[in-house]
Amino acid sequence: MPFKRIRIFGDCLSFILIVSQLWSNINCQKPGYEIHTDEIVHVQRGLCTYVPCKFTVPTTIILRRNTNGFWLTSRAKTVAVAYRINSLYYTNGRFYLIGDVTRGDCSFYIEEPRSIDEGVYAFRIEDPQAQFTYTDTLPYVDVTELTDKPTISSTRLVDGEEVTMTCTSPGKCRSIVPTYISWEGAMTGTRLMIYNISYEDGSRTFHSNITFTPRKSHNNSPFLCRVGFKEGLFTMDKQMLNVEYSPSMIITTEGVDANDTASVIVEDGDSVTLNCIVDSNPNASVIWYKEDMVVHRNMNKQVVTLQLINITESDAGRYQCSAMNEHGVAKKSIQIIYLSTMPESSPVIAAAVGGAMFLLLIILIGVLLFMYFRKKGQHISDGNLKDASGNYINEIYSYPEFTTPDVSPPEKTLQKEVNAVDDAIYVNSDDVQYSRLAFSKNKHKVIQEQEDIEIEYSEIKKVPHK
């Protein structure tokens, strides 16, 4: 677009003078001439700014097709940076007068400014009837660094589901075209598509579509969109990929040695901590069950701990952790196996042991009774032998009618034992008769054990030697 430098002369002859507002106001302000626009205009390097502006003229003046408009800058000399003369618009390539001057519109637009564009600007009209520079508002153009970032669409990412994300270059400008729009990050298998969208006012926006399939492993990894402009200028937006996925979990135990994660063996009084460690995005609702009964629930924490303190038998069983989010469910269970340290605590065992002990007690009583009476009735054994029954003990009680010591020789089958007790038999002969009569029938069956008999003899032997 052609740009001609022109010098402006008018009622405020030098633009230098209007930079000093006080002075210019005194000299230039006239009733009916008003301007409404921004006092300060910020424009970023590489980008653009549109500034609305309205002006008025006294009612005696009618704006016509041959009314010319100028935007003047104070830089160096008073020059017009943009103007309209005879329906033609001119620009210096960065500052544009875009308003329709014949309608009182002085709107302007600045694109890809340079540092030299910083400063005060003034609007002026020139008409056969009026030449006037507006000084009540002198917009100051502030050129700043490029800080606007590209916009990355907030697309929901789900593990395994292909998506398209869009990066939009900052600015909606007329002639600015980014030199590149690029993506950086862990995304793989990507397809890129760069396009622009044009608007009615002649401005455009620039976009890049990236199509890829996010994976769980991409979650929380950085990615960015970078947009480059002329002269090495660039801007970027960096984000973390937020990839959603269904839960997975592990169960760990504390307080006991667990060979595997499927079961732990506990004893009475143990304490066990079961940790359900869930990995999911978004957070899962985590529930601990014991045999299908909910025992612990947490919607926010992803490490949900179940503590079993001072374990008793009733704590044993299957514990299951379940984690669910909108993408799926994960479940794992662990068996708590209770090992009793005291076997009699089992009712069956206790009954068996009790029964056995009772039996032993009866036997013991029997043996003691037997020994007692045996001591008092040694002499009877000789009488027994006469029967040749083969059972010495039985004979003692079976023949209560023997009342006198029998000194006949012992039977051959019982030689040794009988010889040993010979003396005793004589000593105790008188006493035995009474006791024998009283108890022989009752105790007969119980006292059968051969072992008991042997013990008995050893005691009997001692008696005669005392």
Ligand X SMILES: *[C@@H]1O[C@H](CO)[C@@H](O)[C@H](O)[C@H]1NC(C)=O
Interface residue list for ligand X (CB under 6 A): 164, 166, 193, 195, 209
When the beta carbons of 96 and 212 are compared against ligand X, the nearer one is: 212
| In the complex, minimum distance from the CB of residue 180 to ligand X, in angstroms, rounded to a whole number | 17
When the beta carbons of 160 and 409 are compared against ligand X, the nearer one is: 160
When the beta carbons of 107 and 153 are compared against ligand X, the nearer one is: 153
When the beta carbons of 69 and 170 are compared against ligand X, the nearer one is: 170
| In the complex, minimum distance from the CB of residue 48 to ligand X, in angstroms, rounded to a whole number | 24
Q: How far is CA 263 from the centre of its chain?
A: 24
| In the complex, minimum distance from the CB of residue 218 to ligand X, in angstroms, rounded to a whole number | 18
Q: How far is CA 141 from the centre of its chain?
A: 51
When the beta carbons of 156 and 238 are compared against ligand X, the nearer one is: 156
| In the complex, minimum distance from the CB of residue 208 to ligand X, in angstroms, rounded to a whole number | 9
| In the complex, minimum distance from the CB of residue 181 to ligand X, in angstroms, rounded to a whole number | 12
| In the complex, minimum distance from the CB of residue 195 to ligand X, in angstroms, rounded to a whole number | 5
Q: How far apart are CA 273 and CA 270, in angstroms?
A: 10
Quote the tokens at residue 376: 């008092």
When the beta carbons of 193 and 329 are compared against ligand X, the nearer one is: 193
| In the complex, minimum distance from the CB of residue 198 to ligand X, in angstroms, rounded to a whole number | 13
Looking at the DSSP assignment, which residues form a beta bridge with residue 42? 142
Looking at the DSSP assignment, which residues form a beta bridge with residue 243? 157
For 229, list phi and psi in degrees, rounded to 5: -125, -175
When the beta carbons of 167 and 286 are compared against ligand X, the nearer one is: 167
Q: Are 63 and 103 in contact (CB under 8 A)?
A: yes
Q: How far apart are CA 108 and CA 87, in angstroms?
A: 16
When the beta carbons of 31 and 189 are compared against ligand X, the nearer one is: 189
| In the complex, minimum distance from the CB of residue 130 to ligand X, in angstroms, rounded to a whole number | 51
When the beta carbons of 99 and 170 are compared against ligand X, the nearer one is: 170
When the beta carbons of 154 and 415 are compared against ligand X, the nearer one is: 154
| In the complex, minimum distance from the CB of residue 221 to ligand X, in angstroms, rounded to a whole number | 21
When the beta carbons of 107 and 166 are compared against ligand X, the nearer one is: 166
For 463, list phi and psi in degrees, rounded to 5: -55, -50
| In the complex, minimum distance from the CB of residue 155 to ligand X, in angstroms, rounded to a whole number | 7
| In the complex, minimum distance from the CB of residue 164 to ligand X, in angstroms, rounded to a whole number | 4
Contacts of 111 (CB under 8 A, 6+ apart): 47, 48, 94, 96, 173, 174, 175, 176
When the beta carbons of 26 and 192 are compared against ligand X, the nearer one is: 192
Q: How far is CA 352 from the centre of its chain?
A: 53
| In the complex, minimum distance from the CB of residue 152 to ligand X, in angstroms, rounded to a whole number | 11
